[in-house]
Amino acid sequence: MTQTPTRPTARRRPTMVDVARHAGVSLKTVSRVVNDEPVGQELVGRVLAAIAELGFRRNDIARNLRSRQLNATVGLLIEEIANPFYATIASVAAEIAAAHGTMLITASSEEDPERERALLQDFTQRRVDGLLVVPAGPDHSFLRREVELGMPVVFLDRPPQGLLADAVLLDNQGGSRAGVGALLDEGHRRVGVLLGAPTVPTIRERLAGARAALTAAGIEHDESLVRDRLIAPEEAGRAVAALLDLPDPPTAFFCGNNRLTVGALQELHRRCSDAALVGFDDFELAHLMPRPLTVVGYDTRELARIASERLFRRIAGDDSPPSTTVLPTWLLRRGLTPPAA
């Protein structure tokens, strides 16, 4: 299907991406035409017509392809700029973009799928050279046409839904299984589980890991000890309070992210509870908490580095099949151990 031609705004110089869009072909096809590689005559005609109409000189396109400097901008979509996890991703991505002579434009979806879609469409309309995305929504098929036309997209932390693209993820299931397993090794048999929205793939994986740890220990999973759809620390605190008020309360808690861990800690401290706690994600000053706890840690900088470098390889012309990289997690002991009596 031929894409309806659209003329880019006059305020900036058209790019190779514009040629591909205008001709309704892929970026790779434009490259082949410019470099006199075998391409069907019908496609050659469309590409050359687009180059002429957009005002490109053939040598400009060839030089553009060799240098791989398009708009020299890439977009980063994260969930929440204030969260240290996403701030670290943005910092590393900006460093790597700068090393490639490229500007990073960052936006936040605030976990809103509609906002995510609008922001990604805005990025593509701005003709960025590539996208780094921490997804929020359940469907990313709306990006398929952009990907087919040559827009490189790499997903971080969460996999894309309805779209085949590169992804760099964490071992969410393995990390939560190890975390809950550590609580079971300490003798706990009733573990409260606090999670975010079950529609998010990482949350489902972390719940699956918790269940796997219980199953491996021969303990039946008790759904009454699970609280999900929690977002703010205050919600986690209320969930902990409700679980502690049960006739047979949990003696330990597993939290699906650092915000929930903070809320759980606040309620446990308020109640002077000695319930054990494991949380997914390390967080600032965790080592100074006035009680022992364990966190599931990982290398956020490495997550961002691998994703960013993969994006720039795609921008440079790497057309190998999309791949998924899963980074390891590990347990870290945090907090202060009370002095012996």
Tens of pLDDT along the chain (341 residues) come to 334 444 344 345 567 777 888 888 887 787 777 766 777 888 878 888 887 787 665 444 444 444 444 458 999 999 888 788 899 999 999 999 999 899 999 999 988 899 999 999 999 888 899 999 999 888 999 998 888 878 899 999 999 999 999 999 999 999 999 999 999 999 999 999 999 988 888 999 999 999 999 999 999 989 999 999 998 999 999 999 999 999 999 999 999 999 999 999 999 999 999 999 999 999 888 888 888 999 999 999 999 999 999 999 998 888 899 999 999 999 999 987 765 55
Give pLDDT, residue 62.
Answer: 43
Type of residue at 161: Q
What is the reported pTM? Answer: 0.76
First to last CA, the chain: 77
Which positions ≥6 away from 57 have C-beta within 8 Å? none
Task: Please determine whether the domains at 16-67 and 73-170+300-327 fall in the same fold group of CATH.
Answer: no
Give pLDDT, residue 4.
Answer: 40
Contact 275, 250 (CB under 8 A): yes
Give pLDDT, residue 56.
Answer: 62
Q: Do strands 191-194 and 226-227 pair parallel, antiparallel, or not at all (unpaired)?
A: parallel
The residue extents of the domains of the chain are: 16-67, 73-170+300-327, 172-298
**One-character DSSP codes across 72-121:** SEEEEEES-TTSHHHHHHHHHHHHHHHHTT-EEEEEE-TT-HHHHHHHHH
Type of residue at 126: R
The CA–CA distances, whole Å, from 81 to 21, 190, 199 equal: 32, 35, 22
Look up the CATH number of domain 73-170+300-327: 3.40.50.2300
| 327 three-state secondary structure | strand
Q: Which helix (H) or strand (E) holds 142?
A: none
How far apart (Å, rounded) are the C-alpha atoms in residues 305 and 135?
17
Which positions ≥6 away from 103 have C-beta within 8 Å? 72, 73, 74, 97
Type of residue at 108: S
How far apart (Å, rounded) are the C-alpha atoms in residues 121 and 257?
29
Q: Which fold has domain 172-298?
A: Rossmann fold (3.40.50)
Give pLDDT, residue 19.
Answer: 82
Q: Which fold has domain 16-67?
A: 434 Repressor (Amino-terminal Domain) (1.10.260)
Q: Give me the count of residues in the chain.
A: 341
